[in-house]
Chains A and B, each alone.
Chain A
Amino acid sequence: MTSYALFLGCTIPARQPHYEASARKSLAQLGIELVDLANMTCCAPPPLQSIDLETSLSMAAYNICLAEEADLNMVTLCTGCFESLAMANAMLKENEKLKARVNQILSSAGKEFKGNKEVKHYLRVLLDDVGLDRLKKTVSKDLSNLKAASFSGCHLLRPSALLKFDDPERPHVFDDLIEALGAKSIWYRNKLKCCGGLLRGYADDIALAIAREKIVNTTKAGADCIVTLCPFCFLTLDLGQMLIKSSFHEEYNMPVLHYTELLSLGLGIDPKELALDFHKIRIDKVLNKIE
């Protein structure tokens, strides 16, 4: 059993209990313990980095301090949280001057960033602590009829100089983990391109045009579903299809699932336990293909 401090973030507990439920249940079944720590705050994602980078860096460091105090490495579900926290962790570990500046700010909250813990995305935990072979052996359902279009979101991979998660132009970790469940991870046009989600609320027209492209490309490639990691990508592509319907008068009904949902289904966890009603686009098509 390996234990991690869970960084849950803002969007998942607020809007996506299906992500949280599937993550907690599947990871527990694979022997990964998630420890909930008190007093975490927002990770300081791009919208806050846009307001003030120094504050954002300090907030990320503050959260990492809580994991350091609990003597645990940290795991995130959201790739946005992963980026904010892993980027801050890497920057502060390699830049003493910046670390001193941030620690001066953190002293007001009684914290000191030491830089002795890791921030991992849960895909890395699955790969390193469980491994593809054990994962393959643990899957009890047949997903071989399922064609999945993986979409990692930008912030699992980039900026790669700091995140060092996978090859930023030819990533394979996420696809390997989908195939370990028995499903086929398919290619589609502009797979690594952004979903446009961060422009929602400022330039909705542009955000929706970019999201639409992703839905069109995965549909053309014959995908049964899109598999996401980031709650914001999920929202942009799932709820986004309702907006595409009203703005473009086009209906795609492309199911969007978080990887932990696919994992839970593969592990044989009862779909009734996964809060699947929170999907705007129904995923029955996917459930029917799993035996």
Chain B
Amino acid sequence: MAHKGEKTLSSTFPKEVTSRLGGETVALCYQCGTCASSCPVAKVTERFNPRELIKLSLLGEKQEVLSGSAIWLCCSCYKCQERCPQKVEIADVIYALRNMAIKEGNTPNIYSEFAAGLMSEGRIVPLSKFVEKKRPDFGLPPLKPAGVDALRKILSTTGFDKIQWKKEEAS
């Protein structure tokens, strides 16, 4: 998480995180590191450390947090959240940070692909024609149609369909 260029802090960033769905508990952190010692990702790479990510957020390092790769390296296993003595909902805080990063246009390619699949088929894993055709051979009933119309209305109401899916150069 090395800095490039000038350092800019945002004094309002902790409040922005706290006011978002998922981010409410971030300020309860007292940096004990129980999260990092429970984290399966931190065990195999130095590129991710949940305690560090929370610290940077509370220090107002908005740019570093939202444009860096660390927030995308959480595997959402909730081990940290389960064990946090301060009841910081760490995995949820990271969702909130990701939501903010995407609003700023920092979207990893794979997430743009998930969103595209969702908007066209109502599923994030596309069906396979081959598997679908073979269903009767396995004694499986025909698939019911997905609720794509209803879904599109929901996506339009929350503004999900207006997110700009800017592509990252490399992840």
Residues of A within 8 A of B (CB): 8, 10-11, 13-15, 17-18, 20-21, 24-25, 36-42, 45-55, 57-59, 62, 66, 105-106, 108-111, 154-155, 158-160, 168-169, 192-194, 196-199, 201-203, 206-207, 209-210, 213, 273-275
Q: Are A10 and B45 in contact (CB under 8 A)?
A: no
Whether A24 touches B140, Cβ cut-off 8 Å, given contacts A39-B145, A47-B111, is: yes
In Å, the complex CA distance between A36 and B145 comes to 10
Contacting residues, chain A, for B145 (C-beta < 8 A): 38-39
The answer to the question of B146 belonging to the interface, with a C-beta cut-off of 8 Å to chain A, is yes
Q: Are A196 and B40 in contact (CB under 8 A)?
A: yes
Interface size grouping (class) on chain B: 35 or more
| Closest-CB distance, A62 to chain B (whole angstroms) | 6
Whether A55 touches B160, Cβ cut-off 8 Å, given contacts A14-B131, A25-B139, A48-B118, is: yes
Residues of B within 8 A of A (CB): 20-22, 40-41, 44-45, 47, 72-73, 75-79, 81-82, 89, 91-92, 95-96, 98-99, 102, 107-108, 110-111, 113-115, 118, 122-128, 131-132, 134-135, 137-141, 143-148, 150-151, 153-158, 160, 163, 171
Closest to A192 in B: B79
Contacting residues, chain A, for B115 (C-beta < 8 A): 48, 51
**A14-B131, A194-B75 given. 15 additional CB < 8 A pairs?**
A13-B131, A18-B138, A38-B145, A40-B147, A41-B123, A48-B118, A53-B20, A54-B158, A62-B154, A154-B78, A159-B81, A201-B110, A201-B113, A202-B72, A273-B138
In Å, the complex CA distance between A286 and B147 comes to 39
Q: Are B150 and A111 in contact (CB under 8 A)?
A: yes
Q: Which of B139, B144, B158 contacts A273 (CB 8 A)?
A: B139
Contacting residues, chain A, for B143 (C-beta < 8 A): 8, 13
| Closest-CB distance, B143 to chain A (whole angstroms) | 6
In Å, the complex CA distance between A79 and B56 comes to 32
Closest to A17 in B: B138
Whether A168 touches B82, Cβ cut-off 8 Å, given contacts A11-B125, A37-B144, A49-B95, is: yes
Q: Are B122 and A206 in contact (CB under 8 A)?
A: no
The 9 closest A-B pairs by CB, nearest first: A39-B147, A158-B78, A194-B77, A10-B125, A109-B150, A201-B110, A10-B123, A154-B77, A50-B98
In Å, the complex CA distance between A144 and B40 comes to 33
Q: Which of B134, B144, B151 contacts A36 (CB 8 A)?
A: B144
Q: Are B102 and A40 in contact (CB under 8 A)?
A: no
Closest to A190 in B: B40
Interface class of chain A by DSSP: helix
Q: Are A53 and B154 in contact (CB under 8 A)?
A: no
Q: Are A154 and B76 in contact (CB under 8 A)?
A: yes
Closest to B171 in A: A202
Q: Are B144 and A203 in contact (CB under 8 A)?
A: no
Closest to A193 in B: B40
Contacting residues, chain B, for A66 (C-beta < 8 A): 147
Contacting residues, chain A, for B147 (C-beta < 8 A): 38-41, 62, 66
- Give 14 pairs: A residue, B residue, CB < 8 Å, sorted on A: A10-B125, A14-B128, A38-B147, A39-B146, A40-B147, A49-B76, A51-B98, A51-B102, A52-B163, A105-B157, A106-B154, A154-B77, A169-B82, A275-B137
In Å, the complex CA distance between A276 and B41 comes to 32
Contacting residues, chain B, for A20 (C-beta < 8 A): 138, 140
Q: Are B139 and A158 in contact (CB under 8 A)?
A: no
Contacting residues, chain B, for A38 (C-beta < 8 A): 144-145, 147
Q: Are B131 and A105 in contact (CB under 8 A)?
A: no
Q: Which of B72, B76, B99, B163 contacts A53 (CB 8 A)?
A: B99
Q: Are B82 and A158 in contact (CB under 8 A)?
A: yes
Q: Are A53 and B128 in contact (CB under 8 A)?
A: no
